[in-house]
Amino acid sequence: MQQAHSKILFDCERMKYPHTGLYHFCWELGQELIAQTEGTGLEIDLYAKKKVQQQFASRPGYLEQSALHKFLMPNLDQWRLWHATHQATDYYPGKDVMATVLTVHDLNFLHETHRSKQKKAREIDKLQRKLDKADRVVAISEFVAKDLKENMQLDPAKLQVIYNGCNIKSTKTLAEPRVKPGADFLFTIGTVVPKKNFQTLPALLQNNSLQLFIAGAIHDKQTQQHIVDQATALGVADRVFFTGPISEAEKYWYYQHCRAFVFPSLMEGFGLPVVEAMAFGKPLFLSTLTSLPEIGGNLAYYFQSFDPEQMQMDLQEGLAVYDAHPALVAKIMLRSQDFSWKASAKSYLETYQQILRQR
């Protein structure tokens, strides 16, 4: 085996928060990067707490993350490249210290109406400083790349798109969930926050006997109450269920058994749950906003608006098409294979190597 001589520090600091998209991004990509570096002359170490490092079967090397590093980074001489895995990170070396790759998942702050112009300006300034220091900026979708080009100062030669992969393993292990449906049900998953737009979903339960299951951490109690209030006003509150965080095996069960996957999100840099639902061949009902049409393609159905009657019509028409064309199941599952962590890792490793050759 070729001796590793170029060490990469892969930022897994966000893995201290499980049940989040960034946790899964770092976990899935990190495993593949480590697996694919053998014989390449590269070695992946983690920037993380020891308990995170211990989750990786290969027990990679690591640099212990500390909150003090926000103010003063430790000695990084043994590493040649730092991969900052999300744009909001507080841990970022200077350009003169080492090569840097920055992954940008979204620019949601630009589109959030509750943020003042002053707060947006501060966020733009913070991100711009990181972009200026980065040797390469990776957007997780063409939509995010377009957002960067239109709103930030960035050399196009430094920008590339690398899609996320699909988290669903081919050897799927399902486990009956703690909160089990008692009828056909619609499923969605994500942190319960305003931008997920879950408060529009109770309207889909009118004029039918479907249930709605919302999985994910409740990050905003006010948003959860808004969903409950909407369901109560429509007379369907007894058919709306919040599961809270769920295990991977429970998540697989919900995907496998749901009537359809519904995702009316207002802001997505990629939309990992969409690809997960694809892996089960499920009908997808998505918003037309941000990256979702790019990921769902022509095999998803789209809510033309968030008017309750229009959403009901979109759901009914989409389910009718899906039921009338069984071949769609295989086509949807096949599309999920376009998004592979193996392919993502391969692209990142090629990027690392290209940057290191240039420095």
Please give the pLDDT value at position 177: 95
More confident residue, 168 or 238: 238
pLDDT at 1: 37
Residue type, 283: P
φ, ψ for residue 116, nearest 5 deg: -75, 165
For residue 80, pLDDT beyond 50: yes
Q: Give the three-class secondary structure for 188.
A: strand
CATH no. of 185-336:
3.40.50.2000
What is the arithmetic mean of pLDDT over 17-44? Answer: 92
- Residue 173 — pLDDT band, cuts 50, 70, 90? confident
Write out pLDDT tens, residues 32-72.
999 999 888 899 999 999 999 999 988 999 999 999 999 99
Q: Which CATH architecture has domain 6-165+340-358?
A: 3-Layer(aba) Sandwich (3.40)
Structure confidence by residue, pLDDT tens digits, 285-333: 999 999 999 999 999 999 999 999 999 999 999 999 999 999 999 999 9
Confidence (pLDDT) at 169: 81
pLDDT of 81 > 60? The answer is: yes
> The tokens of 338 are what?
């376009």
Average pLDDT over residues 337-346: 96
Give the rounded percent of residues in the chain with a pLDDT score beyond 90: 89
Would the pLDDT of 200 be above 90?
yes
Fold match, 6-165+340-358 / 185-336: yes
Dihedrals phi, psi of 33, to nearest 5 degrees: -60, -45
R_g (Cα) of the chain, nearest Å: 21
pLDDT of the residue at 359: 78
pLDDT at 104 over 70: yes
Give the whole-angstrom CA distance, residue 266 versus residue 299.
Answer: 20
Q: Which two tokens stand for residue 250?
A: 């429970």
Q: What is the mean pLDDT of the chain?
A: 94
Judge whether residue 170 has pLDDT over 50.
Answer: yes
Q: What's this model's pTM, rounded to 2 decimal places?
A: 0.93
Q: Where are the alpha helices (DSSP H) in the chain?
A: 21-36, 50-53, 117-133, 142-151, 221-233, 248-257, 272-279, 292-296, 308-324, 328-336, 341-358
Structural domain boundaries in the chain = 6-165+340-358, 185-336
String of b and e for 263-295 (b: at least 16 CB within 10 Å)?
bbbbbbbbbbbbbbbbbbbbbbbbbebbbbebb
**Range scoring the smallest mean pLDDT among 170-174, 218-222, 343-347:** 170-174
**Residue 125: per-residue pLDDT:** 96
The tens digit of pLDDT for each residue in 221-266 reads: 999 999 999 999 999 999 999 999 999 999 999 999 999 999 999 9
pLDDT greater than 60 at residue 89: yes
Min mean pLDDT across 18-22, 152-156, 284-288, 316-320 is at 18-22
Mean pLDDT, rounded, for 62-85? 95
The pLDDT value given to residue 151: 95
